[in-house]
Amino acid sequence: MEKRTYFLAVYEADEAYTGQFADFDCVFDQGDTLEEVISNAKELLNFTVAYMVEHKEPLPEPSTGRDYKAKLDQEPFCIVPVTVYPPAKTERINIAAPGEKIAEITDYAKKSKLSRSELMVKATLEYIRANA
């Protein structure tokens, strides 16, 4: 299943923020700052999508901008696109790297009680999120 982008409507509420995904009846979150509500909502959306895929529930199609606004009860403070990657089957890929680098990765993975693949995926995702 390919990535999907849903819109998060963010509202200001008494020195905090709330966020709602109008394409999902029950997915919303809150935070003290705009960044926190967006981060919390992304995590909750990822969990919700994973749950729905695991239980073979159909995911809603992401609304377009105009359709999305029509689903909202009130005008939001802002609207933020949030991309999720629904769980999919494991894929095998090939990479090329100098042998000494692979040995270093392998040693660190063993010390961390991870497979080399788990370590490389985890490190790559951390890098992407830190530099996005």
Q: Which of 16, 13, 2, 9 is closest to 82 using CA atoms?
A: 9
Return the beta strands (E) in 14-91 as ranges: 16-21, 28-31, 78-84
Instruction: Report CA torsion sign: 29, 11, 87, 101.
Output: negative
Class of domain 4-84: alpha beta
Q: What is the pLDDT of residue 1?
A: 62
Q: What is the pLDDT of residue 6?
A: 92
Encode the chain (132 residues) as per-residue pLDDT tens digits: 688 999 998 998 888 898 888 888 777 778 888 889 888 888 889 889 988 888 989 999 898 877 877 787 888 888 888 898 887 777 788 889 999 999 999 999 999 998 988 898 889 888 887 887
